[in-house]
Amino acid sequence: MTTSQNSLFEGEPATPAKPSARSKTTRRSGARTAAHEAADKQRSISISEFFAKNRHLLGFDSKRKALLTTVKEAVDNALDACEEAGILPDITVLVKQVKNQDDRYVVTVSDNGPGILPEQIDRVFAQLLYGSKFHRLRQSRGQQGIGISAAGMYGQMTTGKPTIIRSRISKRHDAHEVGVRIDTAKNKPVRTKNQVFEWDREHGTEVSIELEARYSKGRGSVDEYIAQTAVANPHVSILYHSPDSDEPLLHERATKQQPKMPAEIKPHPYGVELGTLIKMMKTTGSTQLGAFLQKDFSRVSAKVAREICSVAKLEPKSRVKSLEHKSSEALHKAIAKVKIMAPPTDCLSPIGEELLEKGLQKEIGEAEFFVSRTRPPSVYRGNPFQIEVGVALGGQLHADDPVRVMRFANRVPLQYQPGACAITKALTSVDWKGYGLQQPRGSIPVGPVIFMVHIASAWVPFTSESKEAVANYPEILKELRLCLQECGRQMSRYLKRRKRVADELKKRQYIDRYLPHIGEALRDILELDEGQTDRVVAELRDTLERSRKI
């Protein structure tokens, strides 16, 4: 890896390489070449500079999407902070158009979370790749330490305005208002404002970003994101002030039950690549190889560690930091050959079948039929994950439209790039005609149905930094299909029963319509009196209805 590449990944300016003896000799000779000219133009690139130029990678490729991404990153941070502190989240989202500016908005998101230490505010909101979630393995909405800082950087680039943060950690501490910018050349925060102010909140955080944006309703909008966030997080209360309404919309919480707090786990040996293994061996606190395998990985007992060392032809008491590359490679290959228990799944916090249905009911109101399923945890590349599906049928949904698909990853709505997502691929691959729905070839089914599909994972494999689609790992596709099919079978039983009921009711209507005419014909043919006619009609009705029981 080159010096500039190292700089990109570490987020720090690179140290220029010292010129070789040969280059010194060339310079002493006074001969300038094209190589010298090219070398003079080389410089390191900070991560902020890279994403400032390639902001589309983070979801800021249009004004409409920039507004959504800014709201999404701020709300995700607020929810994570509240849940980690054991606080039922009360979130307020205000999207306000700047006066006399058609394409400029101020996004303000506030929470009742634990607040942020004043000395930490700068780096949390104005330094890319800074955060507490990247190096830990447990389910959370944020993963990379990029999102909210990137939103602030976009606002800074398009309006020149700093990000404004208000925060308080308890009623015994002062509330601080801080303004920050990002020095994109160094990926470092620069304070523009810092003052203590009176705040009526005991604790919490509020962030305001002014940015160029465009507000509109419909699919992929802020309104849809807020509604779907309420569906996947029934324990959250969200007060939403949209730009086109004087009255705020309150999404009340459907339960006061907090989600189970996921535990942090160590990496599983099956999910570690050779380069990562070598890095872990150099930075471990263990001295011996066997102790390193047991302490730095999950599901590696003393017996499993000895077996791995035996297959790799290494001694468990070998000094782990002294092993050569050849030995490290042998160790990595040995891990794949040894049977190791799947990683623990207490790092996951699924929504749960009951709350999935409650969330769907909040979104669409009454429906004919609800079903939800949560699959047992599974593993891809050593990372635990769990699939959940909720299905709602009927209600106000249109029978001739394609089914509506709501995609979620770690309780966060995925509103863009559905065609690139494993969820869409799995849904399309199921033969829904066998479950009672129409389905064009190679497409999603048609019918009055909503599919809510959620993947919970310690590390969701997104296809890009903008976190809009889940990668197509075979293990994930398999679990998605199985969960969708489980719900499909329940829906198929309901549809068949509904059809049977409809057929029986239709036949009963025929009986009611034509039986009196049959009675009259029998009376005339058989010359029956009125009493006999009534008895014959009653016997016929009884016989027909008993043979057509619903």
Considering the domain architecture, whether residues 331 and 395 belong to the same structural domain is answered as no
In a domain, 459, yes or no: yes
* CB of 381 closer than 8 Å to CB of 374: no
Considering the domain architecture, whether residues 286 and 245 belong to the same structural domain is answered as no
User: The pTM is what?
Assistant: 0.78
Sign of the dihedral defined by the CA atoms of residues 111, 113, 115, 120, in that order: negative
In a domain, 147, yes or no: yes
Considering the domain architecture, whether residues 366 and 481 belong to the same structural domain is answered as yes
CATH number at residue 319: 1.10.8.50
Q: Which regions of 364-403 does DSSP assign to beta strands (E)?
A: 369-374, 378-380, 383-393
Whether the pLDDT of residue 14 is over 60: the answer is no
pLDDT tier for residue 7 given thresholds of 50, 70 and 90: very low
Considering the domain architecture, whether residues 80 and 41 belong to the same structural domain is answered as no
Q: Could you tell me the residue range of the domain that residue 41 belongs to?
A: 3-45
Considering the domain architecture, whether residues 128 and 180 belong to the same structural domain is answered as yes
Q: What is the pLDDT of residue 491?
A: 92
Residues 402-454: tens digit of each pLDDT = 999 999 999 999 999 999 999 999 999 999 999 989 999 889 999 999 999 99
Considering the domain architecture, whether residues 66 and 209 belong to the same structural domain is answered as yes
| Bridge partners, 408 (sequence order) | 413, 454
CATH number at residue 176: 3.30.565.10
Q: What is the pLDDT of residue 3?
A: 42
Considering the domain architecture, whether residues 324 and 364 belong to the same structural domain is answered as no
CATH number at residue 408: 3.30.230.10
Q: What is the pLDDT of residue 132?
A: 53
- Residue finishing a domain among 309, 337, 365: 337
Considering the domain architecture, whether residues 24 and 75 belong to the same structural domain is answered as no
Q: What is the pLDDT of residue 523?
A: 79
State how many domains the chain has.
4
Of residues 86 and 513, more confidently modeled: 86
Whether the pLDDT of residue 546 is over 50: the answer is yes
**Phi, psi (deg, nearest 5) at residue 83:** -65, -40
Q: What is the pLDDT of residue 294?
A: 95
Instruction: Give the DSSP per-residue string, 444-456.
Output: --BSSEEEEEEEE
Considering the domain architecture, whether residues 381 and 418 belong to the same structural domain is answered as yes
Q: What is the pLDDT of residue 144?
A: 58
Of residues 31 and 356, more confidently modeled: 356
Three-class DSSP category at 408:
strand
Whether the pLDDT of residue 27 is over 70: the answer is no
Residues sharing a CB contact under 8 Å with residue 424, sequence separation 6 or more, in sequence order: 405, 407, 418, 444
In a domain, 259, yes or no: no
Alpha helix (H) residue ranges in 233-317: 274-283, 289-296, 302-312
Considering the domain architecture, whether residues 381 and 514 belong to the same structural domain is answered as yes
Considering the domain architecture, whether residues 218 and 126 belong to the same structural domain is answered as yes
In a domain, 511, yes or no: yes
**179: DSSP letter:** E
Whether the pLDDT of residue 61 is over 50: the answer is yes
- Residue finishing a domain among 299, 314, 337: 337
- Closest-CA residue to 455 (of 432, 474, 479): 479
In a domain, 258, yes or no: no
Three-class DSSP category at 482:
helix
Whether the pLDDT of residue 39 is over 80: the answer is yes
Distance CA(143)–CA(65), nearest Å, equals 20
Considering the domain architecture, whether residues 350 and 324 belong to the same structural domain is answered as no
